[in-house]
Amino acid sequence: MKPKDNFMLVKNQRIESNRRLSAKAKRRLEKSKADNTLKAYSSDWSDFSDWCQHHGERDLPTAPETIVNYINDLADDAKANTVSRRVTAISENHIAAGYGGKNNPAKDGIVRAAMAAIRREKGTFQRGKSPILMETLYLLADCFEDNDLVSLRDRALIFLGFAGAFRRSELVRIQFEELTFTPQGLMIFVPQSKGDQYGRGSTIAIPYAPDEEICAVRALKAWLTAAQIHSGPIFRPFTKAHSLRDTQLSDKSVALVVKKYAKMAGLDEKQFAGHSLRRGFATSAAQHAVDALSIMRQTRHKSEKMVHRYIEQGNIFKENPLNRMYGK
């Protein structure tokens, strides 16, 4: 979707027309937010702007009452979390346009009250995709063919995605130069991620699995050797002629690969997506009594809130009071 002219988070006219800023400074200011965040905000702003145009309202600057009317229409069909994100996008665009602080209509008390009412009415529970658990890996392992290049790539992608608790974007961005194989396993340097917007980087350790059938390190070695990859992105798409491209795989392809093998394993592919690998690691770790801090070290979560949610899901049967009741 092409950003609207009044979407100020991209090509901000206040920045572009500022003669005191160098060209280099302007370029960096445009990168103050991640690309995926900008895409989401752009889509959200377009929806709000179109609604304003249809109802004869002004979008920038807008009035608090306009936002309240918009989100109440939106809440008829959207989840509370979606409505909240739209308000955030409206707020961020106003800040970029110079309407910050008390001049930001999205921060008005009437908007906060409207959001509170929507959350109470609709709730904030988000049903995520099903996790790829440790035992699920064994089901998927039976679906791969040892002598097929696509199969070798997909096995490495799934096993590594699980073992490293990678986000889709992190997984497809891994470069050969960021890999270090050791006698204990594999170390992967992640230069930047969603939780590390300033690019401090982190190193993920993945030991050899005792069971070769689900070993991410061995699966990756087999793929790199067969594909003869010695530099650049380690996960790449194939052409129609079945030759390997030099570019990295798209993050959307991760979901397609997961769904493909979930279906082959006899599972409902609609219940799985790219995030199933990351969620599966955290949930499986909780089932194996791994503590929250150790899980966070692998998942690179900065907040314990989401990790504790995974732990609760992982222990929903393990710590169920009925277990003791049945035992007696």
Residue at which a domain ends, from 93, 122, 151: 122
Whether residues 166 and 27 fall in one domain: no
Tens of pLDDT, residue by residue over 254-266, are 999 999 999 999 9
Residues 195 and 292 in one domain: yes
Measured distance CA(229)–CA(232) in Å, rounded: 8
Answer yes or no: is 321 within a domain: no
Tell me the C-alpha distance between 129 and 125, whole Å.
13
Q: Residue 1 has what pLDDT?
A: 46
289-317, pLDDT tens digit by residue?
888 888 888 988 777 777 777 777 777 77
Query: How many domains does the structure of the chain reveal?
Result: 2
Category of 45 on φ-ψ map: left (φ > 0), alpha (ψ -120 to 50) or beta:
alpha
| Residues 176 and 307 placed together within one structural domain of the fold | yes
Catalytic residues: 167, 194, 275, 278, 301, 310
Q: Is 62 in the same domain as 33? A: yes
CATH code of the domain in which 21 resides: 1.10.150.130
Q: In this predicted model, what pLDDT tens digit does every residue of 154-172 receive, in sequence order?
A: 999 999 999 999 999 999 9
- Cα separation of 244 and 242, whole Å? 7
Mean pLDDT of all residues in the chain?
87
What's the pLDDT at 196? 55
Same domain, 42 and 103: yes
Q: Do 199 and 276 reside in the same domain of the chain?
A: yes
* Sheet-wide strand order for 185-190: 179-182, 185-190, 202-207
Q: Does one domain contain both 45 and 194?
A: no
- Tell me: do 179 and 109 sit in the same domain: no
Domain membership flag for residue 325: no
Is 324 among the domain residues?
no
- The two beta strands, 179-182 and 202-207, are unpaired
Q: What are the tens digits of pLDDT across the range 264-296?
A: 999 999 999 999 999 999 889 888 888 888 888
What pLDDT digit, counting tens, does each position of 33-48 carry? Answer: 677 788 889 999 999 9
10 Å CB burial of residue 292 (0-12, 13-18, 19+) is middle
Do 170 and 74 share a domain, yes or no?
no
239: CATH:
1.10.443.10
Quote the CA–CA distance of 162 and 166 in Å, as a whole number: 7
Over 80: is that where the pLDDT of 325 sits? no
193 in the same domain as 97: no
User: Whole-model pTM?
Assistant: 0.65
CB 68 within 8 A of CB 110: yes
Contact call for residues 280 and 162 (beta carbons, < 8 A): yes
* Statement to judge: residues 239 and 174 lie in one domain: yes
The pLDDT tens digits of the residues spanning 66-83 come to 999 999 999 888 888 889
Instruction: Note down the domain range covering 172.
Output: 134-314
